Structure 1
Amino acid sequence: MSQGPLLDTNSPLSAEQARQLNEALKGLDARQLTWLSGYLAGLGAQGEAAVTSPVQPESAPAAAEIVVLYGSQTGNAEGVAELASDRAKARGFNVRLADMADIGKKDFKQPLDLMVVVSTQGDGDPPDTAEGFYELMHGRKAPKLDDKTRFSVLALGDSSYTYYCQTGKDFDARLEALGAQRIHERVDCDIDYEDAAEQWIESVLDRYAELNDTASRVGGGPASVADAAPPASYSKKHPFHAEVLDSIVLNGRGSDKETHHIELSLEDSGLTYEPGDAIGIVPQNDPAYVDELLDKLRLDAEADLGEGRRLRDALLTEFEVTTLTRPFLEHWSEVSDAAELRRLMDQESRDELRDWVEGRHIIDVIEHFPVKKIDAHTFTRALRKLPPRLYSIASSYQAAPDEVHLTVGIVRYEAHGRSRGGVATTYLADRVRPGDTVPIYVDRNKNFKLPHDDDTPVIMVGPGTGVAPYRAFLQEREERQAGGRNWLFFGDRRFRSDFLYQAELLQWRKKGLLTHLDVAFSRDQREKIYVQDRMREHAGELYAWLQEGAHFYVCGDGERMAADVHRALLDVVREAGGRDEESAAEYVRELQQAKRYQRDVY
């Protein structure tokens, strides 16, 4: 082939997938290349790509440009947008893939055909990089649109949250209110989003083909992202079974926390990763919990669910049987015909329902609102698939190429008279031992990455297990002999028992890799001290680093810590920069849009 190689910079593939695909393309004959032509033609249409299709289709319909617009926190929405872009190109459309961080009012001067893919984080918030665009579209300066601008929205979310898919709902309603024409109904996707996303992509492209009066080609591109990757690529549907090499409790004696450092083997997997990526763990539910569930429901463990699937096995490995979601509660209110549950599901009782659900699982609903007789199919109908759990990678591939390390905080608590535990964390801590294997895959996170320039300073804020990606960052920078300064704010409860990776961090400080290490142990004194307090103490120098181009990272708890750190950052910019509140907020927003302020929160 005369074309240049595929790279991770000119395709939706990772560097490793691009390398493997380049190898796979060597020696293909004309017939095989023709089969791949739709996919290659799609890549060739990018303009930025070096690869062009070796066999161009005889007639590609001229079509209006489709703008695939995405707002993504962890990369899922971006991945769907990339798939939508590839599918549209394979059909012959002109396509522009655009991050909401890069879109402004001027982009709406001409009518647009939009495919909007956006996730919701936390309790109804837009992704960090989409905040500016969200504010623009919902503010007084929003562009005035008409029905020549056409759109459809795919919303990604988690149905266990009260404001499920709220950002997508907001954009859908706002685009219509501004005058744009909705050409396909919004689709809301739960955490198991792939199938619904693909159906939405095909339906919206069919609609645009109809509206543009083009007979777009169908089936020219790959069936899915997974199908486009080489056979050796692993995913949540096809995980790699990694051997557990070690599992070490990091907390010392007297700690009321349990944090494990887990090392997994990647030998012979072909898997690679970058600092900032995560490992997806495909867990199993607690067998004791599943057996109790079957007992409460008086269901036969061997009940047939079809295709050779037995109920108990399915509840162990296929279904989410702990976390409460609105679809399950709605289903159970119908099955149980419980007046109290129906009342809680009313819109007026939203706050009361949220308080009632707090700390409860599916088994609590079954106990509170019992059903005399139910069959296996009726019970499982409203259960969502058991989702993988993502853990930030705590190692550098350059430092340990055959391994990947995780920092896992084990979740155990008492609530409503019952002992509870995290599905994946107790699976890793209680039921997996060194020598066992764990199903895993690499989850890429393009929005939490070290700067390309090794001389750029970085500021890292990561209390508790939020320190995990910074261990990877520091290992990577040490391996690359990066010249950029590094500043870590770490916090936990107690210095003696909860200083995670203490020896390594102190050694890095001694060697000069860590320019500053500021710690906050909240329970070691009468007044609690947190990482955000340390930030304010060093406001002047922290602001000076930002002025010199530093990248600012936050990892950890998304419910409280991330918001507290965000407020502290605003205070730092306002006080040390001599700015008013509006100017400080604009400064921080510019950091986000430039991807110099990145968050990995959960």
Structure 2
Amino acid sequence: MDDQSVRRRVLILYGSETGQSEAISQQIHDQCDHHLEVLTDNFNISVERLCLDTIGDQYSLETEQTVVFVVSTTGEGEPPQNALKFYRKYRKRALPKSLLSHLRYCLLALGDTNYERFANFGKDLDKRLQELSAKKFYDTGFGDDAVGLELGVEPWIENLFTAVLNHFNAYSSLNVPIVDVKLLTPVEREMSAKDNCLLMQTTDERLSQLDQLNLPLIPSKFKSFQLKLHETLPEEYVDKCLPKEFYFQTLPVMDSKVFDATLVELRQLSTDSVADNDETDSRCDAKTIIEATMRIESEGEGGCSVGHEAGDSFGVIVGNYDEEVNQVLHSLDLSGKRDFYCEVLTPEVFPHLPKICKVYDLIKYYLELRSVPKKSCLRHLADFCDNPSQKRRLLELSSREGGEDYNRVVRNQFAGILDILQVFDSCRPPLDVLVANSPCFAPRYYSVCNAPDPLNRNQFKIAFSVTTFEETLLRKDTQLFGVFTGTLFRLLRHEVSAQGDSVDQCLAKLSLESNMKSFKAFKRKNPYFKLPSNVSIPIVMVGAGTGVAPFVGFLGQRQLVSKRSTVPAGECWLFYGCRHSRRDYIYERELKQYQSDKVLTQLYVCFSRESVDEKSPKYVQNLIQNHSTALYRLIDVRKAIVYVCGDLKGMATDVFNALVSVVETAGKQSRENAVKYVRELQSEKRYLQDIWT
């Protein structure tokens, strides 16, 4: 390592399902390159970056000396698709234990603590590398999507290059990117009403007095990205470049082509009003829950061939609100160019973008305006602020010194790119800068809540809570609602002239036949969250809130299959929790009918806002523990499959711990063995989750 003539390669390997790990690996590559550029002596260190699935063609761990792994976890704690080839090779137990004794590595594992097997692939990879005698030169880092990846990722990246230099015994003082802010006025205490917005307020007065700030790098690919606007499309472009149908990059989770789905019916599942003498219900936290029936119209030029079964889910590409697209156009001085054609000159930089589309469509369907901007984004936007105070504040929020403010007013407030453009109204970045700093529009996913209907095979139903947001920052109108759920909810109000109407009244007045709404959608891969093919296998379902919706589909499909089966159906249990028995106990009638028809063997329900006393069950985990003995027998002896679905933060962990408790008490096992037992259920695909935030 002391020989200065030796080439020292640092290989960054990423495994990514949705693109997060890939993007972070690029950020690490850019940071390392920048640090090497400013060193007076780079010690012959070079940095390269590859995908894990290029193993054998472009690299082999047996010949590498220094590797940085950046990996995510998908499904039920599994490796991402582009890491499978790599992992299959190195997980083989026949490999010699000293195979990687020469290798020095570090690892950044991404995950989501809403899922029980948080960052599972990263943990498994870490363990396997050490089993093969590889040694760490830097502690393993974790990024948690539930609280914001940057909280764990940024500090890890910040100290990585120092660890690399120490590993090579080549550490020297580094020049960090800084900006001199002496000439920028601090944010004044007395500000206009708009500047009193939370984004402009700091809890640390010292921050506004600093002369220098440590700033993040702007990724190199952002600088290389280029767009060109055409008022009219050149004739030669029409046939060669203009997409003949809607373009959306193929995602790993897609199980169909993108198709048109038309809204045909809306039905409110929750209740707005209760009896005047009902003192158990509270209006303050009651949710509006709606069921939407969608009809699949087409699947590209070849027609429709999308079927579904209970347990499936669909992704909806609804696009940003028209009002919000217009706000962005105004912020960028592009209102008069909304119908111009936008040509992507560097498609290799962001392959999720179409080669050519209209400016309006680019912002509507391909930019996630509600995504929380990274610090590098705020740093980039600051370059286009005319107002010195606003520029300084963006630099503060993007700086290392402003980390606390960034977490408090950006991350914790879920301030999106649109919020930034509204508050910092002197910021007018070019379109290519906005596009480069905005993630691709994220489809919204919803589980199917009906079994396939032989008479309407192209129809599926989804249930959802109408998502609302706090009226903070400068948000108003559409920004106070979720993108898809708000769009459907607004349909209910569209034809209502009188103010104060309930959703029930809106539904009664809405004529969907005269106000048809169509969306782009696709079927999502979900190979495991399905009913067993053998109807005699018992099932246990655990749902909270709208998490009961897919189980209504399970019961409908179970009933249809049971009628055709020659063997008796296995037991079918449902543990369900919601807030109020008379407001959001959705599908109550259907569930009780399934119970009456002997399709649903046991139905256990609890209401978190109506507990009679401390011993009454409030949540589904309490219900599970109350039936430990019978439940354990069903799982251990009868080999039941457990399904968990819900949208409550932390539900997955609570249910997992409740099941561990069941195994401890009813199975008379130690805590350690009980955890191992439930883990084995997961490995056997007998403990399946469909959890979202």
TM-score (norm 1): 0.65
Distance 1:597 1:75, change over 3 A: closer
Q: 2:417 corresponds to which residue?
A: 362
Q: 1:202 corresponds to which residue?
A: none
CA distance in 2: counterparts of 1:546 and 1:227, whole angstroms: 35
CA distance in 2: counterparts of 1:392 and 1:550, whole angstroms: 22
Q: Is the 8 A contact 2:321 2:364 kept in 1?
A: yes
Deviations 1:2-44 (A, max 9, x none): xxxxxxxxxxxxxxxxxxxxxxxxxxxxxxxxxxxxxxxxxxx
CA distance in 2: counterparts of 1:403 and 1:383, whole angstroms: 34
Post-superposition shift, 1:438? 2.0
CA distance in 2: counterparts of 1:276 and 1:257, whole angstroms: 24
Post-superposition shift, 1:355? 3.0
Post-superposition shift, 1:280? 0.8
Distance 1:311 1:547, change over 3 A: same
Q: 2:365 corresponds to which residue?
A: 317
Q: 1:538 corresponds to which residue?
A: 627
Alignment of 1:171-182 (within 5 A): none
1:376 partner letter: L
Post-superposition shift, 1:427? 2.2
Q: 1:596 corresponds to which residue?
A: 686
Aligned match for 1:331, one of 352, 355, 380: 380
- Are 2:467 and 1:411 equivalent residues in the alignment? yes
| Secondary structure in 2 matching 1:284 | coil
- Are 2:239 and 1:252 equivalent residues in the alignment? no
Aligned match for 2:484, one of 424, 430, 434: 424
TM-score (norm 2): 0.57
1:257 partner letter: K
CA distance in 2: counterparts of 1:490 and 1:96, whole angstroms: 41
Distance 1:345 1:470, change over 3 A: same
CA distance in 2: counterparts of 1:380 and 1:273, whole angstroms: 35
Aligned match for 1:447, one of 514, 528, 539: 528
Post-superposition shift, 1:466? 0.7
| Secondary structure in 2 matching 1:314 | helix
CA distance in 1: counterparts of 2:112 and 2:543, whole angstroms: 18
Post-superposition shift, 1:144? 2.8
1:405 partner letter: K
Q: 2:666 corresponds to which residue?
A: 576
Distance 1:265 1:595, change over 3 A: same
Q: Is the 8 A contact 1:462 1:489 kept in 2?
A: yes
- Are 2:519 and 1:438 equivalent residues in the alignment? yes
CA distance in 1: counterparts of 2:676 and 2:306, whole angstroms: 40
| Secondary structure in 2 matching 1:253 | coil
Distance 1:334 1:70, change over 3 A: closer
| Secondary structure in 2 matching 1:411 | coil
Distance 1:157 1:283, change over 3 A: farther
Alignment of 1:155-234 (within 5 A): 161-163=148-150
Aligned match for 1:381, one of 423, 433, 436: 436
CA distance in 2: counterparts of 1:492 and 1:515, whole angstroms: 20
Farther off after superposition, 309-318 or 103-112: 103-112
Q: 1:306 corresponds to which residue?
A: 342
CA distance in 1: counterparts of 2:605 and 2:434, whole angstroms: 49
Q: 2:448 corresponds to which residue?
A: 393
CA distance in 2: counterparts of 1:328 and 1:361, whole angstroms: 11
Post-superposition shift, 1:165? 9.8
Post-superposition shift, 1:76? 12
Q: Is the 8 A contact 1:241 1:438 kept in 2?
A: yes
CA distance in 1: counterparts of 2:648 and 2:126, whole angstroms: 24
Post-superposition shift, 1:158? 6.6
- Are 2:345 and 1:345 equivalent residues in the alignment? no
Deviations 1:514-570 (A, max 9, x none): 111111111224668111111121122222222121111211226322222222222
- Are 2:590 and 1:504 equivalent residues in the alignment? yes
Post-superposition shift, 1:430? 2.2
Alignment of 1:130-141 (within 5 A): 131=120, 135=123, 137-138=125-126
Distance 1:65 1:285, change over 3 A: same
| Secondary structure in 1 matching 2:551 | helix
Q: Is the 8 A contact 2:448 2:460 kept in 1?
A: yes
2:606 partner letter: A
Deviations 1:157-206 (A, max 9, x none): 9799325997xx99xx9xx99xxxxxxxxxxxxxxxxxxxxxxxxxxxxx
| Secondary structure in 2 matching 1:572 | helix
- Are 2:99 and 1:122 equivalent residues in the alignment? no
Distance 1:104 1:498, change over 3 A: farther
- Are 2:276 and 1:286 equivalent residues in the alignment? no
| Secondary structure in 2 matching 1:414 | coil
Post-superposition shift, 1:143? 0.4
Q: Is the 8 A contact 1:319 1:385 kept in 2?
A: yes
Post-superposition shift, 1:111? 5.2
Q: Is the 8 A contact 2:574 2:602 kept in 1?
A: yes
CA distance in 2: counterparts of 1:384 and 1:565, whole angstroms: 33
State the percentage of identical aligned residues: 25
Post-superposition shift, 1:334? 4.7
CA distance in 1: counterparts of 2:317 and 2:334, whole angstroms: 26
Q: 1:263 corresponds to which residue?
A: 293
| Secondary structure in 1 matching 2:437 | coil
Distance 1:364 1:266, change over 3 A: closer
CA distance in 1: counterparts of 2:661 and 2:431, whole angstroms: 55
Alignment of 1:44-55 (within 5 A): none
| Secondary structure in 1 matching 2:600 | coil
Deviations 1:262-296 (A, max 9, x none): 11123662102233221010112112233334445
CA distance in 2: counterparts of 1:65 and 1:269, whole angstroms: 45
- Segments of structure 1 that go 5 or more residues without pairing to the other structure are 1-60, 86-94, 148-154, 178-223
Q: Is the 8 A contact 1:457 1:551 kept in 2?
A: yes
CA distance in 1: counterparts of 2:152 and 2:443, whole angstroms: 19
Post-superposition shift, 1:311? 3.4
1:263 partner letter: T
Post-superposition shift, 1:413? 2.5
CA distance in 2: counterparts of 1:460 and 1:118, whole angstroms: 34
Distance 1:544 1:458, change over 3 A: same
Alignment of 1:68-79 (within 5 A): 73-74=74-75
Q: Is the 8 A contact 1:74 1:446 kept in 2?
A: no
| Secondary structure in 2 matching 1:491 | strand
Distance 1:276 1:334, change over 3 A: farther
CA distance in 1: counterparts of 2:118 and 2:689, whole angstroms: 10
CA distance in 2: counterparts of 1:140 and 1:372, whole angstroms: 48
Post-superposition shift, 1:498? 0.8
Q: 2:131 corresponds to which residue?
A: 143
Q: 1:274 corresponds to which residue?
A: 309
2:112 partner letter: G
Post-superposition shift, 1:496? 1.0
CA distance in 2: counterparts of 1:76 and 1:306, whole angstroms: 40
Q: 2:655 corresponds to which residue?
A: 565
